[in-house]
Structure 1
């Protein structure tokens, strides 16, 4: 049974699970319906009653100093796998419609370079400025970790804060601690408008 985390909670992944090596990190979200919006978003809604919002999940692979070694340390829709193939992105989901994960990232913990100390999972809204969109228009956002050896959901973290006016979400991070891997439920929003703007802070 998955452990439900609250914002700011940290939990061991590999301690007590010596065989854990391959994880699927699932990220999901739903557009707010037009009815719930009470007309605030006007022309952004089409006939389907929901906003056409393109959220993108990305991973920043950081070293011990919290920096990216090179541009391939950013895994996103334009670079779907790391050089060592330890992190692989499922590809872009353009709408967020439907149940379950909207985007998935497979992480092979044992293949991650020793120089990488942290994987930071971020979701941002594509073209948020020109489309005048923010995370107040998204609901039911979550991140979950699944053990690929048995398809067991280990961790589930629902992002329940009010993210109105914010355009990027730092969802969670997997990081090294005393030779083991841990997960931190972050759930913080920022006003960064693109994944490149976020990535530039870590070079």
Structure 2
């Protein structure tokens, strides 16, 4: 079990021997909140829980906070091939990670100083319809793929996006920061300027 972080906490991504992590995956997940519905609404839905289609993305920034690249459901790989999105989850169903971004930290272009991970709602479903949102860092270089750090989001509200966390260069390695800042936008491009303000 990894270290549980709270909003604003930061962690340098190192192994037990002090060397830097090289390959990680950022897993993001969420569930539909329990909705109190009337008899007719329950009948029409067939008793099924509401489907929540959120999109996880990674925004890559230069040192002066300019957007260098965005990895999302419409572009599944960064131009430097350091980040791969494993695919879009259209419902939010199932346990564990709903969407995953694989990150090879050694391949991130030298001009990239920050990577911000965000969740957006293309269908404009708001975060008061969502619960148990989280992001977690997993060490993919080890066969056991241990969880390094986890950030569980407790905030809900009438916003359509969340700036979840960031990775920033820290000497020869990287630092992970739990952010949890609400925003509004359908896709990552919509909130890229606002996400830059957290760096």
Q: Normalised by the size of structure 2, how large is the TM-score?
A: 0.88
Q: C-alpha distance in 2, partners of 1:175/1:116?
A: 9
Shift of 1:177: 2.1
Once the two structures are TM-superposed, the CA of residue 43 in structure 1 deviates from its matched residue by 5.7
Once the two structures are TM-superposed, the CA of residue 100 in structure 1 deviates from its matched residue by 0.5
After superposition, the Cα gap between the structure-2 partners of 1:28 and 1:51, relative to the gap in structure 1 and judged at 3 Å, is: same
- Alignment correspondent of 2:174: 181
Aligned mate of 2:153, from 148, 153, 159? 159
Return the offset for 1:19: 5.1
- Choose the corresponding residue for 2:83, options 54, 74, 87: 87
Gaps of 5+ in 2: none
2:2 — aligned with what?
2
Runs of 4+ displaced beyond 4 Å = 42-45
The CA RMSD measured in Å over matched residues stands at: 2.1
State how far apart, in whole Å, the 1-side matches of 2:113 and 2:92 are.
Answer: 30
Q: Kindly indicate whether the alpha-carbon contact (under 8 Å) linking 2:121 and 2:185 is maintained by their aligned counterparts in 1.
A: no
TM-score, with length taken from structure 1 = 0.86
- C-alpha separation between the residues in 1 aligned to 2:2 and 2:193? 34
Q: Deviations over 1:3-47 (max 9, x none)?
A: 0000100111037541521001100001113xxx2239x969822
> Which whole-Å deviations, capped at 9, do the CAs of 1:128-150 have from their partners, x for residues lacking one?
1xxxx201101110000110122
Shift of 1:48: 4.0
